[in-house]
Structure 1
């Protein structure tokens, strides 16, 4: 399935989102390609595999082309073995707020301690309700992209 992905990313200031979450899912993913103009992601979620290609972000970092298709979990596991850098592990929480659902990713392993919330929008200037636990906006900050976290994990960042 292909579409333009329009989203904004934020750091999270507390774990209050956990009480508000409708679901939580463990995700394991890696990147076959981390070039800034195109990334190729392999993901295993809920026993299913997915392959996604994402294009370069626009200047604000909010919008980019995304294509994703389901593949078998065994195909995804085999492709993850071919991925660049570190493999990402995270727990994703779906947290409703107003008319939107925030996806809050609590990273594990080499990225433990990093928690990022994303909200998908219909258009770049769409207004949305901000939950109390939403912190600094990091939309367009490349170091927070999942593809970059496989190359430069949060545990290796210097303050």
Structure 2
């Protein structure tokens, strides 16, 4: 139940030709407090409710609990979410021994593209694809809960 991941900006669209899957995601937050977030997500034809705890000081790890719910339940819960619904297309790219999830945001976060890789330990080695840019792990501006409140297009 501890999620360990690293986040990176993406510097080219080369990942699209390497993707093994892609799908749309719509998500909102029932609670976006920095100590905990409660997220509702529509992914493909399924819904999910996720609770995440506060990140460690380096931003690499945090508690995460997720449960699948019906598409209808997720649609209903999205109507209760805080302002700032997030829309994105997720691409899954297998590279080395890991799967990179690359999110291409639309709407008020259009222009932002972030890749995440989940790890088994904070020190785990992973190969980096050539299209990875600078690391933004731990930078709260790139958390989806923050992007729902302070969208990428409003950054100076």
Give yes or no for TM over 0.5: yes
- The equivalent residue for 1:34 is 32
Cα-to-partner distance string for 1:4-33 (whole Å, 9 max, x where unaligned)? 000000000000000000000100000000
- Local SS of the residue matching 2:121: coil
Q: 1:55, 1:25 → 2: CA distance?
A: 26
Matches within 5 A, 1:57-76: 57-76=55-74
Distance across 1 between alignment mates of 2:68 and 2:2: 18
Per-residue CA deviations over 1:72-115 (Å, capped at 9, x if unaligned) read: 11111111111112100000000011000100000011100000
SS at match of 1:85: coil
Q: Which runs of 4+ in 1 moved over 6 A?
A: none
| Mapped partners of 1:104, 1:97: distance in 2 | 12
* Offset of residue 46 of structure 1: 1.1
2:152 paired with 1:154:
yes
- 1:94 aligns with one of 88, 92, 95: 92
2:21 to 15, 20, 23: 23
CA-based RMSD of the aligned residues comes to 0.5
CA positional deviation for 1:40: 0.2
Match runs of 1:75-114 below 5 Å: 75-114=73-112
Q: Partner residue of 1:6? A: 4
Q: Which runs of 5+ in 2 are unaligned?
A: none
Shift of 1:68: 0.4
Quote the Cα distance in structure 2 between the aligned partners of 1:85 and 1:142.
18
In the alignment, the residues of structure 2 paired with residue 70 and residue 130 of structure 1 have an alpha-carbon distance, to the nearest angstrom, of 31
Q: 2:125 aligns with which of 113, 127, 137?
A: 127
Question: Which residue does 1:49 correspond to in 2?
Answer: 47
The TM-score, its normalising length taken from structure 1, stands at: 0.97
Gaps of 5+ in 1: none
Instruction: For residue 74 of structure 2, give the secondary structure of its aligned residue in structure 1.
Output: helix
